Amino acid sequence: MNSSADPFVSFREVQKSYDGEILVVKNLNLDIAKGEFLTMLGPSGSGKSTCLMMLAGFEPATNGEIYLGGRPINKVPPHKRGIGMVFQNYALFPHMSVSENLAYPLQVRKMSGADVKAKVKRALDMVELGDFGDRRPAQLSGGQQQRVAVARALVFEPDLVLMDEPLGALDKQLREQMQYEIKHIHEQLGVTVVYVTHDQTEALTMSDRVAVFNDGVIQQLSTPDDLYERPQNAFVAQFIGENNTLSGTVEHIDGSKCTVKTDGGDTVIAEKVNVDKVGDRTTLSLRPERVELDPSSAMDDVLPGKIEELIYLGDHIRVRVDVAGNDEFIVKVRNRSDMRPLAAGQAVQIGWNSSDCKALDFTG
């Protein structure tokens, strides 16, 4: 018997090669809890879809084992895994009505007519398409079709639903609306969702936890706020949110802090995250909203800089400055009525607290 603390889905030392040479998934270990919304996030080609296809059973793992509900499933065919799926090209059956599309997974499971009708109605109501059951997919908008696809994946009440870039074909506004809808359905049903996207905003909006993929390896597995606030390496810092970088060399280490000499010749105190020893090259990471222009109060690091460019965005102003050898450094300045006029060419001070400056692995 499975206790609730045991993972519901577990990848153990999973590897995948399509050509027998290159590993596109390298030694993946990942536990997903029952009821969790877990997102695999990463650039194109990083191995996300491959992981989902292995979990669904459409691609065999080259090495390792995948467990579902505590049982190894490598040898279980896809249709016996009881997993619901939604893809970007939702592939509804065009010759069937919406209701028939939803009834299909139930009829395949030999459910009785009355049960099918009740479950189809419930699934359609859930995605707010109660009145659209008689239409053909071609008579629906893209967003409505995608809702039908979501309903179809959920109609047989699977414990696990996999979604691979399901909103990729929708325009921005509809995509954002659907993100909330899918998130709310997840909350309502308590179903476990494994979601794939390359869109970091989507991942942060929807997920309990996010696994950031690069090159077939999970770079960090964490909650959205932790990924943003405490990136463990330069890839994650760069991929999640907006990020400024400064190159430098570690000069001194003192507990959780380190002193770094930037390539521009300035000395700063940073949080020691992913450097080992004095002499290491490091990439410092700083969020634009954690940096102050002409700081009014005492800050740990204050460096001289020069304004290169101002971009007015209403609620804030993006100020591009040249600081510590980087002329692409962005500071987000809140738009206040009492601020002094800023102009390109001005000399300014740039300040931050050392806890907001992370010393990460060197990326050049």
Asked if 214 is part of the footprint of ligand ADP (rule: CB under 6 A), the reply reads: no
Binding segment (CB under 6 A) for ligand ADP, from list 43-51, 108-116, 149-157, 272-280: 43-51
Give the shortest CB-364-to-ligand ADP separation in angstroms: 23
Long-range own/partner contacts, residues 131-137 (CB < 8 A, 24 or more apart): 132/98, 133/97, 133/98, 133/99, 133/102, 134/97, 134/98, 134/99, 135/97, 135/98, 136/94, 136/95, 136/96, 136/97, 136/98, 137/92, 137/93, 137/94, 137/98, 137/101
CA distance 9 to 235: 26
Helix residue ranges per DSSP H, 273-328: none
Instruction: Pick the binder of ligand ADP from 3, 4, 44, 188 (CB under 6 A).
Output: 44
Pick one of Mg ion, ligand ADP, none as the site partner of residue 101 (Cβ within 5 to 8 A by kind). none
Scanning the structure block, which residue is given the tokens 């979601």? 195
Give the shortest CB-56-to-Mg ion separation in angstroms: 13
Pick one of Mg ion, ligand ADP, none as the site partner of residue 50 (Cβ within 5 to 8 A by kind). ligand ADP
Asked if 168 is part of the footprint of ligand ADP (rule: CB under 6 A), the reply reads: no
Query: Under a CB-based contact definition with an 8 Å cutoff, are residues 257 and 273 in contact?
Result: no
Q: Which is nearer to ligand ADP, 48 or 287 (CB)?
A: 48
Asked if 39 is part of the footprint of ligand ADP (rule: CB under 6 A), the reply reads: no
Asked if 101 is part of the footprint of ligand ADP (rule: CB under 6 A), the reply reads: no
Pick one of ligand ADP, Mg ion, none as the site partner of residue 99 (Cβ within 5 to 8 A by kind). none
Give the shortest CB-194-to-ligand ADP separation in angstroms: 13
Asked if 197 is part of the footprint of ligand ADP (rule: CB under 6 A), the reply reads: no
Give the shortest CB-48-to-ligand ADP separation in angstroms: 4
Distances (CA, A) of 206 to 177, 182, 326: 11, 8, 34
Binding segment (CB under 6 A) for ligand ADP, from list 37-45, 99-107, 175-183, 203-211: 37-45
At CA 217, angle to CA 215 and CA 220, rounded to 5? Answer: 120
Instruction: Pick the binder of Mg ion from 10, 39, 46, 49 (CB under 5 A).
Output: 49
Q: Residue 137: what residue type?
A: P
Asked if 45 is part of the footprint of ligand ADP (rule: CB under 6 A), the reply reads: yes
Asked if 211 is part of the footprint of ligand ADP (rule: CB under 6 A), the reply reads: no
Instruction: Tell me which residues in 5-34 interact with ligand ADP (CB under 6 A).
Output: 18, 24
Pick one of ligand ADP, Mg ion, none as the site partner of residue 42 (Cβ within 5 to 8 A by kind). ligand ADP
Give the shortest CB-49-to-Mg ion separation in angstroms: 3
Q: Beta strands of the chain (E only): which ranges?
A: 9-16, 25-32, 37-41, 63-68, 71-72, 83-87, 160-164, 192-197, 209-214, 217-222, 244-254, 257-262, 267-272, 281-286, 292-293, 301-312, 316-323, 326-334, 347-352, 358-361
Q: Which two tokens stand for residue 196?
A: 């794939």
Torsion sign across C-alpha atoms 64, 70, 75, 80 = negative
Query: Under a CB-based contact definition with an 8 Å cutoff, are residues 267 and 260 in contact?
Result: yes
Pick one of ligand ADP, Mg ion, none as the site partner of residue 259 (Cβ within 5 to 8 A by kind). none
Q: Which is nearer to ligand ADP, 41 or 293 (CB)?
A: 41
Q: Which is nearer to ligand ADP, 45 or 304 (CB)?
A: 45
Give the shortest CB-196-to-ligand ADP separation in angstroms: 6
- Compute and round to an integer the Cα radius of gyration of the chain: 25
Residue whose C-alpha is closest to residue 105's, from 131, 79, 124, 128: 79
Asked if 58 is part of the footprint of ligand ADP (rule: CB under 6 A), the reply reads: no
Pick one of ligand ADP, Mg ion, none as the site partner of residue 326 (Cβ within 5 to 8 A by kind). none
β 281-286/301-312 pair status: unpaired
Binding site for Mg ion (CB under 5 A): 49
Where along the sequence are the contacts to ligand ADP (CB under 6 A)?
18, 24, 42, 44-50
